Amino acid sequence: MPPPSSRSVRPPVSPGAGDTVDQWLAYLEAIHPTEIDLGLDRVLIVFRRLFRRKPEARIITVAGTNGKGSAVAAVEALLRAAGRRTGAYTSPHLQSYNERVRLDGTDISDAELVKAFEVVEAARGKVSLTYFEFGTLAAFVAFANAGVNHWILEVGLGGRLDAVNVLDADFAILTSVDIDHVAFLGDNREVIGFEKAGVLRPGIPAVYADNDPPRSVLQQVAAQKVDLALLERDYHLSPREGGRDSNSGPALEYGGQLIRLPAGPLPLKSVAAAVVAIRNLEPELDSAAIEQTLSILSVPGRFELLGKRPDILVDVGHNPHAAGWLSGQLESLKTPGKEVHAVYAALADKDVEGVGRAMAGVVDHWYLAGLDAPRGLSGAVLKDRLWAAGLTAVSASETVLQALNTALSNASADDLVVVFGSFHTVAQAREILLHSASQKRAPGLT
């Protein structure tokens, strides 16, 4: 038997002039041995090479288990209503990586994104960065290049050791703390809360978008003397009262003011927390401007309506906490005779049994799909896991397209079809549905 080769695997070659975003993304996927590698040491080295001092911008950091994207979108829209120039960084994306980096409300162009990638590549030298770390630093470079003065940054995973946390927040939003990403963050709210509260900084203002923070969060708030606004202690959500506005949705009471909030489609608590943030950051923005801005706010993939008769909704809820919110939204739309048909596909490391139980009370028919993605579950395995959780009215398909076609063929015009699960699930469904709409085709889909 010949001796094993002593040659090492050749490192990936950095893209050159004229290479595309897709070529850069393929390179980013290849330069670090693992997809997720929490820690700030590597990214901090490169950050300090890129920025000798803290960027001259106000940093708003958004952490939490669910509702982060909605909070980012609301803060971004309200800051722009106040005349501020904004950079927003979110993840993951649905259809295009460019969605992750928005400049003044618009997805970054390929040319601007490639330029930022090139700057990070030149700065990192031999420092190995994950896909997310590299992309985070590229977003910072793009914001600096564009001269935007308000950076709204969504934490990718956790908070304390997330790449976003190399920047000190000037204001922090914690949307929620619940169980997800157990392998990285722990299996209980106290441990997870400690990780997410790692974005707090001594003396900075912050808001927690619920009334039951883990003790670990409150301990860090006290230790760092954070000026925390807490739901139902420092601000309140209440139904509108009187006249024609009585059914127009809830209202936020904060600082002696009452601000009407939209009833949907975004998580109400995230939107309310964003308003609290804006009241601190831009106190001169009047209530009418806030209400007008929020009345037209939406986020792709978050309780998004993509078809009529039957109504077709998509939502990126992928853990029991998010599924509980989605179930409540669907319940509010149900009327006698209206059935809910759910298309669901998920990743193997998610609590699909908990998701199924959270949705069981509102879903009449389940259509499970295999997911062609890293860590994606097959439809058959997903069906077995939901059966074990006590859900029996289920069918399984190999793909999201097949499951969606089956659901649409079984649904009446007055029913409701919801496609939910991972971002991969919703991305596939959106591509199918938007293409079908552009071709003016009725279901079934192709």
- Return the pLDDT at 3: 45
User: Who contacts 128 (Cβ-Cβ below 8 Å, separation ≥6)?
Assistant: 31, 32, 33, 42
- Return the pLDDT at 86: 98
Number of other CB atoms surrounding residue 394 within 10 Å: 19
Residue extents of the structural domains in the chain? 21-295, 304-438
Q: What is the CATH number of domain 21-295?
A: 3.40.1190.10
**How do strand 304-307 and strand 58-63 relate by DSSP bridges?**
unpaired
Helix H or strand E encompassing 295: helix 287-295
Q: Global pTM?
A: 0.92
pLDDT in tens, the chain (446 residues): 444 444 445 678 899 888 999 999 999 999 998 888 899 999 999 999 999 999 999 999 999 999 999 999 999 999 999 999 999 999 999 999 999 999 999 999 999 999 999 999 999 999 999 999 999 999 999 999 999 999 999 999 999 999 999 999 999 999 999 878 787 788 899 999 999 999 999 999 999 999 999 999 999 999 999 999 999 999 999 874 333 344 457 999 999 999 999 988 999 999 999 999 999 999 999 999 999 999 999 999 999 999 999 999 999 999 999 999 999 999 999 999 999 999 999 999 899 999 999 999 999 999 999 998 888 999 999 999 999 888 987 899 999 999 999 999 999 999 999 999 999 999 999 999 998 876 665 555 55
- Return the pLDDT at 441: 57
User: Who contacts 400 (Cβ-Cβ below 8 Å, separation ≥6)?
Assistant: 343, 345, 369, 371, 419, 425, 428, 429, 432
Number of other CB atoms surrounding residue 312 within 10 Å: 26
What is the Cβ-side half-sphere exposure of residue 339, based on CA atoms within 13 angstroms?
11
- β strands within 46-191, DSSP E: 58-63, 86-89, 101-103, 106-107, 150-154, 171-174
How far apart (Å, rounded) are the C-alpha atoms in residues 221 and 198?
10
Phi, psi of 280 (to 5 degrees): -85, -40
User: Who contacts 379 (Cβ-Cβ below 8 Å, separation ≥6)?
Assistant: 345, 368, 369, 370, 396, 397, 398, 403
Kindly list the distances between the CA atom of residue 20 and the CA atoms of 15, 112, 152, 433, in Å, as whole numbers in the listed order.
8, 11, 26, 27
How far apart (Å, rounded) are the C-alpha atoms in residues 219 and 195?
12
CATH number of the domain at 304-438, out of 1.10.599.10, 3.40.367.20, 3.90.190.20, 3.40.30.120? 3.90.190.20
Asked if residues 269 and 68 have their Cβ atoms less than 8 Å apart, the reply is no
The terminus-to-terminus CA distance of the chain in angstroms comes to 53
**Look-up: residue for tokens 């080769």?**
5
